[in-house]
Amino acid sequence: APAIHGLLLVALTRLRQRPEQAHTVVDQAVQAALELMPGLKNMVNGVLRNALRQRDQWESWAEADEEARLGFPRWWIARLRASAGESWEAALAAGNQRPPMAIRVNTRRTTIDAVLAGLEGAGLVVRRLDNDALLLDRPVPVGRLPGFSDGLLSVQDAGAQWAARLLAPLAGERVLDACAAPGGKTAHLLECADVELLALELDSLRAQRVDSNLARLGLTARVQVADCRRVERWWDGRPFDRILADVPCSASGVARRHPDIKWLRRETDIAQFAAQQAEILDALWQTLAPGGTMLYVTCSVFDEENAGQIARFCALHADAERVPVCGEPDLKLLPNAEHDGFYYALLRKQA
């Protein structure tokens, strides 16, 4: 019975996390079983009480099983161990913690210092990071953020706030955001400079979220529902000076925001995402002006979608030149207490 199986898993997890609440957990699980399948309430009671009696044995089993101990699928653990060096276990541990909450300031309408003062005045503990993201010590409802409804600030992960800074659009340039929803990076680009921006989004409902985000911030862009790979359907032939390619990916860097991802995702999905990303890169490259730059972004921690993807692209496109990011060939952010996992690579099209 899937419902009872799920109930037992939740109850066992709670017993492990809060052993001092054992009596309450068992009692509530039995009551839940009584509502779900009354005939199995005694079994639920017996399984949980047996687990309490054999706690040490269960704990040793869990510690010996890497998947149980780390809380991620084995294939996920193996990939991260191979690519993340000594940081792999810390990244997995961060992936099981509550995600941080960071603020992006709309510098079109206010200053970072003014927003910082407003947040602290509202009793919030805030820290300014290297990329000017403001990190709260704990998440709060957006209604508690002074200036949110007035478009003075947005909630955006600190790792995501590198995108606009790295692409660094200049006033008057023509910019493409190829996979725009929900519009956080789109808005950030517009906050950075007066640019002519086209935002593409495949899903019409998600495209509406881009529009509503821009409206709250007092920003303007042309938002178009289109598949960025089908260039002939949306491109007017005028090349772009800068392109943001924030491509669909495994979302392995943001799994703590969507905990079901790591258990629903399959290892075979990674190759499928990589193939889709390759199609997007190849399609967008033809729309980039000579001398223009394209920023490739994923919220993945897997090399096949990140450095491996860029290596493949550069091998096929002789006019693609790598541009250093923060003094390195690329920027690899693993999940930690400050930000989610992201990958950034900057490419220039040789003139």
Three-state SS string over the chain comes to: CHHHHHHHHHHHHHHHHCHHHHHHHHHHHHHHHHHHCHHHHHHHHHHHHHHHHCHHHHHHHHHHCHHHHHCCCHHHHHHHHHHCHHHHHHHHHHCCCCCCCEEEECCCCCCHHHHHHHHHHCCCCEEECCCCCEEECCCCCHHHCCCCCCCCEEECCCCCCHHHHHHCCCCCCEEEECCCCCCHHHHHHHHHCCCEEEEEECCHHHHHHHHHHHHHHCCCCEEEECCCCCHHHCCCCCCEEEEEEECCCCCHHHHHHCCCHHHHCCHHHHHHHHHHHHHHHHHHHCCEEEEEEEEEEECCCCHHHCHHHHHHHHHHCCCEEEECECCECCEEECCCCCCCCEEEEEEEECC
Task: Tell me the catalytic residues.
Answer: 299
For tokens 């200036």, what's the residue?
147
